[in-house]
Structure 1
Amino acid sequence: MKSKYFLITAIACTIYSCGQKNANGNADNVAENSLVDTPSFANSISQPLITQRFSADPSAHVFDGKIFVYPSHDYDAGVPENDNGDHFAMKDYYVYSMDSVGGDVTDHGMVLSVEDVPWASGQLWAPDIAYKNGKYYFYFPARDKEGIFRIGVAEGSKPQGPFKANPQYIKNSFSIDPAVFTDTDGKSYMYFGGIWGGQLQKWATGTFDANASATDLEKDNQPALAPKIARLADNMTEFAELPKDVKIVDENGKEFLGGDHEKRFFEASWMHKYNGKYYFSYSTGDTHLLCYAIGDNPYGPFTYQGVIMRPVIGWTTHHSIVNFKNKWFLFYHDTQISKGKTHLRNVKVTELKYDKEGKILEIDPYAAATK
């Protein structure tokens, strides 16, 4: 499946310019403002927000009247591509903000590096952030010294960082893709998990099994692996309970099977609330869809509703959903700047809309020419 949306032959070059204020002047070896149109990229509904370095897995939040974006930071480490995700060798995080969607993007610089995390050995993947108790809590996955993915937390006094990592990862945390949701009653929950390189399948028995499958349970006729949820303690730095399964079910209340690759969970949990309902969204991974399900409380179960976004060019898809100035926006990524290199991605944003029944209108990321 990795080749299906990986690299489409480029046919024309265009120049794209996006106003950026750089806090520290550091930039990756990215061809500045130079993008390549392919038959699909030419029809992109939006353009990259960040062009001075590669970025992916955007977690967007509104703080102080601005949108802050917390992505992972891709770079080419020269590691061969594999199903374990070793080529996603990220080692630090940068933060960005904007006063308006479509306006200038401010680069606040590096806010955390693997060198600042005592327990971590590498692969700082998709992060998230939450605000409570007058502090900002930055959550991130990384491999520990034994190569096992854990989830850590770093604290800061400002949304733009910097953040100081706690000396230990969160007890009972594992796998990847933390997403923290604070409900209207003030309680906060972390959703997390990812199969394949995210190692969720290696925790199927409740303890880590290094010899377990490299992909999933390999049981297509049994319920698929479920994402996890744990309520956070008031201090936001530890779990108040042991992680539980998040059940994603069909209209008959049945869990999706492992073989249903177009609907079952793979990674990239996100939670938002709309009209009193809880919208759990996620990536299907190897089928490259962003999907969502709706429930009546933070724990679910969540009933599958459909697709949010069709596949992007590049193997991964990861997102966040945020309300800003009475409009909803979907932050996502593709590989436009790198011309389709799946480990060198760029963050984008587009408006997200609902119908009268609260269904999300499906988005085609390359439908601009048909509108």
Structure 2
Amino acid sequence: MFKKYIVNLTNNVRKISIVLALSLSGTFAVPGFCQDKPAAIKPLVTDLFTADPSAHVFNGKIFIYPSHDIEANVPQDDEGGHFNMRDYHVYSMDSPTGKVTDHGVVLDLKDIPWAGRQLWAPDAAFKNGTYYLYFPAKDKQDVFHIGVATSKSPTGPFKPQPEPIPGSYSIDPAVFTDLDGTSYMYFGGIWGGQLQRWHTGKYEKSLSTDLGKGHENEPALSAKVVKMSKDMLSFDEPLRDVQIVDENGKPILAGDKDRRFFEGAWMHKFNNKYYFSYSTGDTHFLCYAEGSSPYGPFTYKGVIMKPVEGWTTHHSIVDFKGKWYIYYHDAALSGKTHLRNIKVRELLREKDGAIRTIEP
């Protein structure tokens, strides 16, 4: 009995020593103990609540365009009314591990003529010597559309167009520019993002969340993709569905909630493959699918990140000096689903380009 006690004590001391050593080094990689599990990731911003980080490299620096969470004292519901954001800040970093600079408010709800409330997840792009900030907002009738604002600087301030982009709706714009200079916008989100209300081509206010029971064996609702006009202020063609299929080429079904699209689209290109990544929403996964065209179809490949603390997951993926990074958010600082904080970590791949699943 005494010998067994000594062995257990020795093992516990060994484990404690390993944990201390690993915490000092900032990583966990001991076989059989906490293999491949990284140390806790610190929030990039702690004086404000920020979420939905859209990261881009402009002029050799990283610029982050997140939403700005506030305590709006709005009851929580499936429509996301408690996410009542009112402005945008821009942040910059010289490197993914560098100091974060807050460039202040670059666009405010009160300066957008058509908008009524809820400035949700934005994105940014650069072309024609101009920086473009794309953002979803509800109009005065409480219908989401996507607006655009412009600036000569990546840090703003941004001047909004007087009306939303014609033909736009729903949320979460993400703009990808291919090597040939053509830009595409991906957007959409179900439930509070209202994508389901447009499934017939016109707005149906009565559809409050998904399309409801009885549709589980039908193809899931699709994100939308559209080529942007040369001036980046409008769409250059009709909207198309972003089709996600399984390994057999069959559409992912609405009832497959671990793989179907919910919101938070992002596009990046690696080794001539197009990687469409997205959030599954109420099952809290970040997933990805691969295609040979920016229009798809995209074949489901797996999970990028397992659930974080908090209800929502929203991300961006960016290449910085030959390494890939994922920007995302969780609710570790507040413990509240609507008060989030942005983080970054390296995105690792297998030799064939497959993305390694992250345990947050």
TM-score normalised over the length of structure 1: 0.86
Separation in 1 of the partners of 2:48 and 2:59? 25
Q: Which SS does the other structure have where 2:110 is aligned?
A: helix
**Is structure 2 residue 47 aligned with structure 1 residue 52?**
yes
1:310-325 mapped onto 2 (5 Å cutoff):
310-325=306-321
1:14-73: CA deviation from partner (whole Å, max 9, x where unpaired): xxxxxxxxxxxxxxxxxxxxxxxxxxxx97641100011000000000011110000000
CA contact (8 A) 1:137 1:154 kept: yes
Aligned CA RMSD, in angstroms, stands at 1.1
- Pick the structure with more helix per residue: 2
Tell me if 1:165 matches 2:135.
no
Q: State the SS of the aligned residue for 2:69.
A: coil
Aligned to 1:127: 122
Residues 19-168 of structure 1: matches in 2 within 5 Å? 45-168=40-163
Could you tell me whether the CA contact under 8 Å between 1:197 and 1:215 is conserved in 2? no
Q: Offset at 1:217?
A: 4.6
> Would you say 1:289 and 2:257 are equivalent positions?
no
Q: Which runs of 5+ in 1 are unaligned?
A: 1-41, 366-371
Q: Are 2:188 and 1:193 aligned?
A: yes
Please say if 1:261 is aligned against 2:257: yes
**Distance in 2, Cα, partners of 1:220 & 1:86:** 26
Post-superposition CA distance 1:89-116 (Å, at most 9, x none): 0010000000011211000000001101
**Deviation of residue 79 (structure 1)?**
0.5
More displaced stretch, 138-147 vs 217-226: 217-226
Distance 1:101 1:293 in 2: 25
Greater relative contact order, per chain length (Cα 8 Å cut-off, separation 6+): 1
Give the 3-state SS of the residue equivalent to 1:185 in structure 2: coil
The runs of 4+ residues in structure 1 deviating greater than 2 Å are 42-45, 213-218
Ranges in structure 2 where 5+ consecutive residues have no aligned partner? 1-36
- How far the C-alpha of 1:215 sits from its partner, in A, is 3.0
Q: Residues 128-147 of structure 1, C-alpha deviation per residue, up to 9 Å, x if partnerless?
A: 00000000010000001110
CA distances 1:303-349 after superposition (whole Å, capped 9, x unpaired)? 000000000000000000000011100000001110x2000000000
* Alpha-carbon distance in 2 for matches of 1:47, 1:259: 35
Q: CA deviation at 1:216?
A: 3.6
Q: Do the aligned partners of 1:217 and 1:225 also contact (CA within 8 Å) in 2?
A: no
Mapped pair 1:237 → 2:221: no
Q: State the aligned residue count.
A: 323
Partner of 1:278: 274
- Provide the residue aligned with 1:212 in structure 2: 207
Distance 2:313 2:279 in 1: 6
How many Å separate the matches in 2 of 1:55 and 1:213?
A: 26
Amino acid at match of 2:167: N
Matches within 5 A, 1:343-362: 343-362=338-357
TM-score normalised to structure 2 length? 0.88
Q: CA offsets, 1:260-301, max 9 Å, x none?
A: 000000000000000000000000000000000000010000
SS at match of 1:73: strand
Please give the per-residue CA displacement for 1:149-180, whole angstroms capped at 9, x wherever unaligned.
00000000000111000000000000000000
Whether the 8 Å CA contact 1:60–1:331 is kept in 2: the answer is: yes
Quick check: 1:217–1:258 contact (8 Å CA) kept in 2?
no
What is the distance in 1 between the residues matched to 2:296 and 2:326?
22
